[in-house]
């Protein structure tokens, strides 16, 4: 299973600049929103293919039926997580960018510039335990409790789709975001190995965010292990 970063190369299509956003979530309502530019993210570089059935591979690529989607608990994301953004900045992920360039439509330098926007964040660590999420910025914690607020399905220009699993703050520090939205190429309960997180106080506005997707891997992994995970496919 190739635990790649979730947004751009040429193997799978997921999280991208959607051409349409089809929302089918906690409210039970659906809507489409056209965007003036589509980007090639398509999740191609986030293929999670090894060790999975063909059906699993298709789901990871963003092709699935609504009937396959099931709500997920916050426990799927439990753990201590580190941002990969510092590794992009210090050059650790340069081999990953070069790997993407071998089969993608950009140079390694262009991929790095693209991920510079995608991975950018000042939250270097996140700890999720029970219903509590703690965000660390410059080593200082901000925490809150979160409850499930359903999910939303995004439809991208290439025809593939992605699911955002959403949690709403129930109580906690004022500075903690009102909503957090997880994207990890899965569409039903399963423990995740990495994820992309969107956060803010406007649930609907977050669904429009498709260029910045802070990405987190287990804090126990070394920089070298993360590089190997990202280049495993």
Tens digits of residue pLDDT in 176-194: 999 999 999 999 999 999 9
pLDDT band of residue 53 (cuts 50, 70, 90) is: low
Tell which wins on pLDDT, 36 or 211: 211
Rounded mean pLDDT, 215-229: 98
In a domain, 163, yes or no: yes
In a domain, 82, yes or no: yes
In a domain, 1, yes or no: no
In a domain, 22, yes or no: no
Give the Cα separation of 163 and 156 in Å (integer). Answer: 11
Rg value, the chain, Cα: 16
In a domain, 176, yes or no: yes
Checking if the pLDDT of 207 tops 60, the result is: yes
In a domain, 76, yes or no: yes
Rounded mean pLDDT, 125-135: 98
In a domain, 212, yes or no: yes
**Average model confidence (pLDDT) across the chain:** 83
Checking if the pLDDT of 106 tops 90, the result is: yes
Checking if the pLDDT of 10 tops 50, the result is: no
Give the Cα separation of 56 and 14 in Å (integer). Answer: 14
CATH of the domain at 167: 2.40.128.20
Torsion of CA 176, 182, 188, 194, to 10 degrees: -110
What letters, b where the CB count within 10 A reaches 16 and e where it falls short, cover 3-35? bbbbbbbbbbbbbbbbbbbbbbbeeeeeeeeee
Phi (first) and psi of residue 198, to 5 degrees: -115, 135
Tens digits of residue pLDDT in 158-179: 889 999 999 999 999 999 999 9
Q: Give me the domain span that covers residue 187.
A: 44-230
* Structure confidence at residue 74 (pLDDT): 98
When divided into structural domains, the chain yields a total of: 1
pLDDT band of residue 41 (cuts 50, 70, 90) is: very low
Tens digits of residue pLDDT in 151-162: 999 998 888 999
* Structure confidence at residue 209 (pLDDT): 92
In a domain, 12, yes or no: no
């Amino acid at each position: 299973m190739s635990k790649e970063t979730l947004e751009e190369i040429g193997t799978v299509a997921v999280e991208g600049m959607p051409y349409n956003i089809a929302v089918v979530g906690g409210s039970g309502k659906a809507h489409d929103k056209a965007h003036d530019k589509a980007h090639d993210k398509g999740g191609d570089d986030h293929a999670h293919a090894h060790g999975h059935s063909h059906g699993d591979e298709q789901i990871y690529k963003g092709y699935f039926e609504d009937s396959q989607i099931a709500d997920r608990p916050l426990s799927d994301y439990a753990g201590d997580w580190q941002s990969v953004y510092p590794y992009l900045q210090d050059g650790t992920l340069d081999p990953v960018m070069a790997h993407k360039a071998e089969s993608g439509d950009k140079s390694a330098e262009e991929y790095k510039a693209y991920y510079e926007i995608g991975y950018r964040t000042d939250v270097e660590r996140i700890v999720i335990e029970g219903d509590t999420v703690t965000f660390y910025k410059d080593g200082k914690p901000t925490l809150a409790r979160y409850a499930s607020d359903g999910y939303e399905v995004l439809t991208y220009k290439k025809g593939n789709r992605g699911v955002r699993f959403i949690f709403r703050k129930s109580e906690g520090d004022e500075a903690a975001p009102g909503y957090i939205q997880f994207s990890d190429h899965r569409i039903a309960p399963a423990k995740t190995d990495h994820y992309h997180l969107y956060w803010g106080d406007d649930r609907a506005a977050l669904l429009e965010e498709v260029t910045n997707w802070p990405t987190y891997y287990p804090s126990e992994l070394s920089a070298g292990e993360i590089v190997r995970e990202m280049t495993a496919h």
